Structure 1
Amino acid sequence: MKAAVVGAGWAGLAAAVELADAGQDVTVFEMAPQPGGRARSVAGPDPTWPYDNGQHILIGAYRDSLALMQRLGVGPQHVLQRLPLALPYPGEAGLQLPPGSALVSFTRGVLAHRGWPLGARLGLLMAAGGWLARGFRCAPDLTVAALCAGLPAVVRRDLVDPLCVAALNTPAAEASARVFLRVLKDALFSGPGSADLLLPRRPLSTLLAEPAAAWLGPRLRLGHRVQQLTAQGQVDGEAFDAVVLACTSVEAARLTAEVAPAWSALAGAFSFQPIITVYLHSPGSRLAAPMLALREGPQAPAQFVFDLGQLGGAPGRFAFVVSGAAGWVARGGCGEAVLAQAQAVLAWATPPVIDKVLIEKRATFACTPGLARPPGRIAPRLWAAGDYVDGPYPATLEGAVRSGRAAAQGVEAEAAAAGGAAKGAASGSPTNTP
C-alpha cells in the first residue's frame, strides 16, 4: 500500500514508522526545513548549544513515546533524566513523591509535605480518594477550578494550578476538569514510575525528530507544503492508497475544506494558547534542582524554570516557561518581567541577562470543558493524527504519538477490511464466514 503522511511532527513520525513497520510504502511531506513540528530545536549562535522551541518534558506514563524512541535507536535512559515527581519552589522542598506503588507513593508524599498544614494535606487526600472512587470521571462542563474549589487554597496554589497549566496549557479557571482528571489518573495512579519526570538531557530534536528523519531517509520530503488533497487520495497530483493528515489543525482544516467540510469545520474551530520560553544566561549560577516551580502572579509570568546546565545543556543557561501565555502575548511579551521575577526569587552568582525569547503562539489548543475535537477518521482512506484529534489527552507529546499510531492502525485495518470484502466478492461467499 502506498501511503502519504502529511506532517513530520511527533504524530506524523509515529504514523510513518507504524506504517513502514507494517510493510507499507510511506512518503512523508513536511512543510518546514526540519522535522519535529513544535517539539524541535532552534539553532543559536553556538551550534553546540541550540535552543529548544519550548521546554518540553515527558513523564513515566508516556509509554508510547518512549517505545517509539527505542524503536528508532534512542535509549530514553541516555537522553532523559528520570526524577521522582517533585514540585520544589525556591527555598522550599515542595511536594515530593517517594518511589513505590502509585497510591502509596502519593499518600506518603502528601503526608510528608511539611510546607502544608495537616488539614490541607488531609483535604487533598480526601479529594483524591473521591476522584479515585468515581473512576476519575466528572461532568464534561466542569472546569478544573470548579472541580478543586473545595481544596485548601495552598493546595490549589502549589499543586493544582501549576500541574494544570503544565499539562493542559490552560489556566485552571478555563481548563477541562475531565481531561485534567485523566492526566492525573495516568500520571499518579497507573503504576510505579508513571509520575516520574523525564527531563531532556539532549537538544529536543535529537530525542525523536532527527533519528526518525535518518530512519526514513528519502521517504521524508522536507520543505514541501502540500497544496491540494483530493477525495481520490491524490496529494499534489501524486496518487496514494491512503493519506494520514498529521499537520496542524489549521493546515488540516485547509486541506479538507472541500473533501470533508464538516470535519474541516471542527478542525478549524479551535482556540489556541501560546507558550513563551525566556532563556536567561548567568555564568556560574546553579539552581537547587534541575527544575523548580515558581509562583505566578500579575508581574511574575513564569511557572517553571529549568537549569539546563544540570541537564547536560549549555552551562549557565536557564529556561523560564510561561504557559497559558495569551495575556502576556497580547501585552507584547514578558522577557523583562521574567528577568525581574528571576532576580526577585532566585540567587545568582552573576547578574542574569536575557539570552533569547521564543514565542509559540499556537503551542496547543485551549483545553476547555466540552470541547468538540475532530475524530481520527476523516473519510475513506483519509485519517488525521495530531494532539488535537479526539482523545482523552490534552495537547501533549504522548497524545500526538498515540494519535499517529492510531491513524496508521486505522489505515491498515481499513485496507484489510477492503481486501477481505474484495476476496469475498470474488469468491461469491460472505466475508464473515469462518
Structure 2
Amino acid sequence: MAAEAAVDTRRVAVVGAGWAGLAAAVRLCEGGAAVTVFEMAAQAGGRARSLGGDDGLDNGQHILIGAYTRTLALMRTVGADPDTLLLRTPLVLRRADGSGLALPPGPPVVAFLRAVAAAGGWSWRDKASLLAAAAVWAARGFRCDAATTVATLCRGLTPRVRAELIDPLCVAALNTPAAEASAAVMLRVLRDALFSGPGSADLLLPRRPLGELLPEPAQAWLSARGVDWRRGHRVAALERRDGGWRVDGEAFDAVVLASSAAEAARLAAAVDAGWSTTAAELRYEPIVTVYLDAPGTALPWPMTTLHEGPDTPAQFAFDHGQLGGRNGRSAWVVSGARQWTERGLDACAAAVQAQARPLLPHATVRRTLAEKRATFRCTPGLQRPAAAIAPGLWAAGDYVEGPYPATLEGAVRAGEAAARGISATA
C-alpha cells in the first residue's frame, strides 16, 4: 500500500494579501495548513489591484506575458480563466504609424528572425545590428557581467533600435531607464520571454479589472477553504517564541512576510537586522498612469508604443475599448516616472494629454494615478534580500532575491517558494 503524502496541519500567518501573499496562501492551503491572512488594506491585490467604483479603473495598467507560467497556473487554480480574462496576442511593439517589431507565431528563434526582417521603418543597418547583438547574447548564454548596464550592453545597436525596441522593453520590464538598468536581469527577461518556447513572448492584456484576474477569485477560493481573513489589520509586532512565532501576540507555527519590503523590514528588524537592512535599503521607481477619455475614438492598436521624450512622458498607451472596457478610454503609462512625480501629477497629466493629441484630439483627463513605490530600481549588482529569513519565517514579494525584476510573475513565484519552504519543514 503506497504511503500517503504528508499533510501540513500547522497554523501559518501570511502577512500581506498582494499577489505574493495570495500565491503563498493558496499553495499552503492546498497542503493542508490552517492559514490566517493579515492585510492592512480593505482589499487584496497590493500594487496590482482594482480601485472599485463604477469606472472599473485599476491602480495602474498591468500586462502579463506568456512566460508568466506560474501566474497563469495560479489563476486557473482559483477558477480565473486566463483565456477569458486576458487578450492573448503575439508580441507587438508597434507605433501609431505601423513601424516597430511584431513577432509572428511559431518557434521562438524563427519568429524573432522573421519579426526583425519585417520590422517596419527599420533600415538594413538597424536589423543587422539587432541580429548581430542577439547572436552574441545567445552565444554567451544570455549572461553578462553583473556590473553592466543595459545601455552599455546595447551600445552596438543603432539609435533607432535602441529607441524603438530596447528602451521601451527595458522600462516596461525593469521600470528602470536603460542607462541605469541591470543588463544581467534584462538578458534573463529576454531569454525567457523571447526564446524559451512558443508563446512565451505573447502579450496577455487584461480584458477585465485586475481584481477579477486574481485577488477576488483567490479570496473566494481561500474563504471557501476556511482561511481566516484579518482585513484592515496592520501587524504591529512579530516575535519568535516557544519554537514558533507570535504575530501581534497570536501563536503561529510559521509566518510568510508578504507585505512590502519596507513593512517586512520593520517586522523582521528584531529577528535578523542584516536582512532588515538589506530590504530597507532598496530604492524605488514610480509609475504614473493617466486615464484619458475620448468618446468615439480609438487608438491604432490595443497597445501602442509611444515616443518618449522630455515633453512626452508616456511609453505605452492601452485602448480599453479594444480590451473589452469602456469605448474611448485609454491608459497612458509613464514608467521610470521619478522626474514626472517630482514635477507634479498635474504637469504629468497635461504633458500626456498633449502627447495624445495627434491620436486623440479631444481627449480629457479622467484620472491620474501614481504608484510612487511601484517597483525597486533594478540596477547592476543590486543586493536583494533572501527569501528565507529564519526557521519558519519567509519573505515573499517581487523584491526578494531572484532572477526576475519586480513583476507579477516574480511575486507569484516568491509566494509559492515561501509556501514550499514552509511545507518542506512540516
TM-score range with shorter-chain normalisation? over 0.9
CA distance in 2, matches of 1:94, 1:10: 32
1:143 aligns with 2:176: no
Post-superposition CA distance 1:122-166 (Å, at most 9, x none)? 110111011111110000010000100111111000000000000
Does the residue aligned with 2:240 lie in a helix, a strand or coil? coil
Shift of 1:175: 0.4
Matches of 2:107 and 2:269, distance apart in 1: 48
Q: Aligned residue for 1:238?
A: 250
Residue identity matched to 1:228: A
Tell me the SS of whatever aligns to 2:45.
coil
CA distance in 1, matches of 2:368, 2:120: 36
Post-superposition CA distance 1:389-413 (Å, at most 9, x none): 0000000000000000001101111
1:262 aligns to what?
274
Matched, 1:189 2:198: no
Question: Which residue identity is paired with 1:140?
Answer: A
SS of equivalent residue, structure 1 residue 292: strand
Q: CA deviation at 1:92?
A: 2.0
Question: What's the CA shift string for 1:337-366, capped at 9, x where partnerless?
Answer: 0001111x4144xx1101000000000000
Report the equivalent of 1:336: 350
Letter in 1 for 2:342: A
* Counterpart amino acid of residue 249 in structure 1: A
| 1:359 corresponds to | 370
1:126 counterpart residue number: 132
Q: Structure 1, residues 41-98: CA drift from partner, whole Å, max 9, x if none?
A: 1134xx2x32111110000000000000000001100000001001111112421110
Offset of 1:39 from its aligned partner?
A: 0.3
Q: What is aligned with 1:43?
A: 52
**Closer/same/farther in 2, CA of residues 356 and 227 from structure 1, 3 Å limit:** same
Q: Tell me if the contact between 2:103 and 2:115 (Cα under 8 Å) persists in the aligned partners.
A: yes
Match of 1:382 among 393, 415, 419: 393
Q: What runs of 5+ residues in structure 2 fail to find an aligned partner? A: 1-9
Alpha-carbon distance between aligned partners in 1 of 2:81 and 2:57, rounded to the nearest angstrom:
21
Separation of aligned partners in 2, 1:393 and 1:108: 27
User: Which residue, 320, 342, 361 being the options, matches 1:308?
Assistant: 320
The alignment of Structure 1 onto Structure 2 pairs a total of residues equal to 409
Q: Which position in structure 2 is the counterpart of 1:66? A: 72
Matched residue, 1:172: 178
Per the alignment, residue 28 of structure 1 pairs with 37
CA-CA distance at 1:316 after TM superposition = 1.3
Is it true that 1:101 corresponds to 2:99 in the alignment?
no
Aligned-residue CA RMSD (Å): 0.9
Letter in 1 for 2:166: V
Q: Equivalents in 2 of 1:363, 1:68: separation in Å?
A: 22
In the other structure, the counterpart of 1:418 is: none
Q: 392-401 vs 220-229, which deviates more?
A: 220-229
Of the candidates 224, 228, 251, which is equivalent to residue 233 of structure 2?
A: 224
How many percent identity over aligned positions? 62
Question: One-letter code of the match for 1:180?
Answer: M
> For residues 194 and 109 of structure 1, what CA distance do their matches in structure 2 show?
15
Matched, 1:400 2:411: yes
Where 1:296 maps in the other structure, the secondary structure is coil
Q: Give the conservation status (yes or no) of the 8 Å contact 2:294–2:360.
A: no
Which residue matches 2:18?
Answer: 9
Q: Any idea what SS the aligned residue of 1:41 has? A: coil
**Residue 172 of structure 1 aligns to which amino acid in structure 2?**
A
**CA contact 2:98–2:120 (8 Å) conserved in 1:** no
Match of 1:115 among 97, 117, 121: 121
Shift of 1:180: 0.4
Q: Aligned partners of 1:231, 1:371: CA distance in 2, in Å?
A: 29
**Taking structure 1 as reference, are residues 200 and 50 closer, same or farther at Cα in structure 2, changes over 3 Å only?**
same
What CA distance in whole angstroms lies between the structure 2 residues aligned with 1:243 and 1:292? 42
Q: Which amino acid aligns with 1:156?
A: R
Contact 2:290-2:349 within 8 A present in 1 as well: yes
Partner of 2:425, secondary structure, is: helix
For 2:350, the aligned partner's letter is E
CA shift, 1:219, in A, is 2.1
Where does residue 359 of structure 2 map in the other structure? 346
Q: What SS does the aligned partner of 2:278 have?
A: helix
SS at match of 2:413: helix
State the alpha-carbon separation in 2 of the partners of residues 198 and 74 from structure 1: 14
TM-score by length of 2: 0.95
Q: 1:247 aligned to 2:259?
A: yes
Equivalent residue for 2:86? 80
Alignment correspondent of 2:6:
none
Q: CA offset at residue 414 of structure 1?
A: 2.5
- In the TM superposition, residue 182 of structure 1 has moved relative to its aligned partner by 0.4
| Counterpart for residue 166 of structure 2 | 160
Q: What corresponds to 2:293 in structure 1?
A: 281
1:296-317 deviation line (CA, Å, top 9, x unaligned): 0000000000000110112211
- Aligned mates of 1:23, 1:226 — CA distance in 2: 24
Partner amino acid, structure 2, of 1:144: V
Preserved CA contact (<8 Å) 2:100 2:165: no
| 330-339 or 86-95: bigger deviation | 86-95
Shift of 1:120: 1.2
Q: TM-score, normalising length from structure 1?
A: 0.93
**Structure 1 counterpart SS, 2:72:** helix
Matched letter for residue 150 of structure 1: G
- Please state whether the residue corresponding to 1:187 is helix, strand or coil: helix
